[in-house]
Amino acid sequence: MPLICLGLEGTAHSFGAGIVTSEGVVLANEWDMLKPSQGGIHPREASRHHSDFGPSIISKAFETADINYRDIDLIAFSRGPGLGPCLRTTATMARTLAVKLGIPLVDVNHCVAHIEIGNLESGFDDPVTVYVSGGNTQVIAYAGGRFRTFGETLDIAIGNMLDVLGRHFGMPFPAGPIIEKEARAGRTFYSLPYSVKGMDISYSGMLTAAKRLFSEGIPIPDICFSVQETSFGMLAEIAERAIAHTKKKELLLTGGVARNNRLTEILSGVSERHEARFHRVSPSLAGDQGAMIAWNGILQYKSGHEIKISSSHVLPKWRTDEQDILWRK
Ligand code: AMP
Ligand code: MG
């Protein structure tokens, strides 16, 4: 009999409940994203969103999967990294269900979950992963028992940079997809700070410069085009260096910003140059959702890991490379 895992995701703006089997079949993946009418994501408002909508999203997942609460064998939750109030709300729901149902609880690192759901979907074994989202921008590869961060943003995440810029233009959240559409109509490239420091990158200077172009009356499509080409070019440079050094033969693109077609095109070009296979995680599994948490819960549980309720406190600053990857040993 395959195991069935309920995974709860709630690190930031989205709450998700996914149900996945140990054979890698996604039975349900329900989620909802907080969309503030103005301003950015406030941690307290996001946690309120999770406690308001979490229970109905979980029920919906069971309906979609067409199973009963008693059919699940374990519960996994996103323990970090993320916003403290959101993590605590989500962890509380997971603990409550685990106690009520008398089943094991497994803690999952959100970033590791993004990688492994991509591996499940693509069939990749050992990729260089470009993980780009609202809160994270990292180039990661497995080495010596852990997923190592080869390069990352030194300040803001790429999705956050796009969302903040879009808000400056008056666009609603999330602005990433709107910026992608605008960029297609861009004709003139304006030079912006291209900030690559070794394997790390930085986006805050570019954000300031892009806002300045706007105040100078440069058309929005041209700014969006210039921002995309520059920020994606920076990512491509460090991803390419990671592939060249590690000699890995797979390149995986995941996270919410993986939905961007131009970024996909650029990174698939990088993989071609290095004769590596390329996969962009499909939109339903690319952003923050519960299926990836459930799948990671299964991988960990099968390798002998579960967590006691008493030590299941959340870890807002839990880094990708701080977790031993038991199932790959
Ligand atoms: P996540 O944090 O993984 O849920 O992803 C959400 C982020 O992805 C937000 O910052 C969005 O603006 C961004 N995003 C979603 N679709 C696109 C797109 N087509 N192009 C660029 N960014 C996107
Ligand atoms: Mg994420």
Q: Is 134 in the pocket of ligand 1 (CB under 6 A)?
A: yes
- Domain identity same for 65 and 175: no
- Domain identity same for 53 and 190: no
- Domain identity same for 72 and 104: yes
pLDDT at 329 (0 to 100): 73
* Residues facing residue 280 across a β-bridge: 253
Q: Is 133 in the pocket of ligand 1 (CB under 6 A)?
A: yes
The CA distance from 173 to 187, in Å, is 25
pLDDT at 210 (0 to 100): 98
Residue 311 is assigned to a structural domain of this protein: yes
- Domain identity same for 274 and 304: no
Q: What is the pLDDT of residues 81-130, one digit of tens each?
A: 999 999 999 999 999 999 999 999 999 999 999 999 999 999 999 999 99
Residue 120 is assigned to a structural domain of this protein: no
- CA gyration radius, the chain: 20
Residue 97 is assigned to a structural domain of this protein: yes
- Domain identity same for 132 and 258: yes
Q: How many domains does the chain have?
A: 2
- Domain identity same for 44 and 181: no
Sign of CA dihedral 247, 251, 256, 259: positive
Ligand 2 ion: nearby residues, β-carbon < 5 Å: 133, 288
Ligand 1: nearest atom to the Cα of 288: 4
- Domain identity same for 182 and 254: yes
Pocket test for ligand 1, best of 32, 162, 235, 265 (most atoms within 8 A of CB): 162
Q: Is 289 in the pocket of ligand 1 (CB under 6 A)?
A: no
Q: Is 162 in the pocket of ligand 1 (CB under 6 A)?
A: yes
Residue 121 is assigned to a structural domain of this protein: no
pLDDT at 1 (0 to 100): 87
Which residues span the domain enclosing 11? 4-114+286-328
Q: With 80 as the cut, is the pLDDT of residue 74 above it?
A: yes
- Domain identity same for 71 and 154: no
pLDDT band at residue 41, thresholds of 50, 70 and 90? confident
Spacing, Cα 194 to ligand 1 middle (Å): 21
Q: Is 257 in the pocket of ligand 1 (CB under 6 A)?
A: yes
% of the chain beyond a pLDDT of 70: 100
Residue 119 is assigned to a structural domain of this protein: no
Residue 206 is assigned to a structural domain of this protein: yes
Pocket test for ligand 1, best of 11, 229, 259, 261 (most atoms within 8 A of CB): 259
Side-chain-side CA neighbours of 275 within 13 Å: the count stands at 1
Domain of residue 44, CATH code: 3.30.420.40
The per-residue DSSP string of 304-325 comes to T----GGG----TT--GGGS--
% of the chain beyond a pLDDT of 90: 96
Which amino acid is located at 120 in the chain?
L
Q: Is 175 in the pocket of ligand 1 (CB under 6 A)?
A: yes
Ligand 1: nearest atom to the Cα of 162: 12
